[in-house]
Amino acid sequence: MSFSLEQVAFILRKDNGYTLMDAMIGLSILMTLSMSMLPIFTSLYEKRISIANRTESVAILEEVWSDYILLGVTPPSEIEKGIDVYRVHLNVEQMCVMVKEHETSTRVCRSLPYDL
């Protein structure tokens, strides 16, 4: 479907632009969509951060656990990675790595062998 120059000029000549009501309706639709999507994006971002912290905790636990079991190196009580501080807890039965997030904390534990 093609328009000739005369048809386009006629359409533009009849157009008076957007009215205030059109602009207000468009703005209200945009605000409603953004207000409904913001909690979803915030929740997804928090879950992504939580999964990233858990993955990093598992990697730190694996590294510290293998150093403790194979080499006999006592783990440090705190490990800093970026802005997060991971705490390592060691008792007779297990070794745990914990990171404190905003409202929650992530804790990953692994049992120690019995023959140590």
17-34, pLDDT tens digit by residue?
677 888 889 999 999 999
The C-alpha R_g of the chain, in whole angstroms, comes to: 29
Q: For residue 46, count other CB atoms closer than 10 A to its CB.
A: 14
Per-residue model confidence (pLDDT) at position 67: 92
Q: For residue 69, count other CB atoms closer than 10 A to its CB.
A: 14
pLDDT at 39 over 60: yes
pTM for the full predicted model: 0.67
54-91, pLDDT tens digit by residue?
999 999 999 999 999 889 899 999 999 888 889 999 98
Cβ atoms of residues 88 and 77 within 8 Å? yes
Coil/strand/helix, residue 13: helix
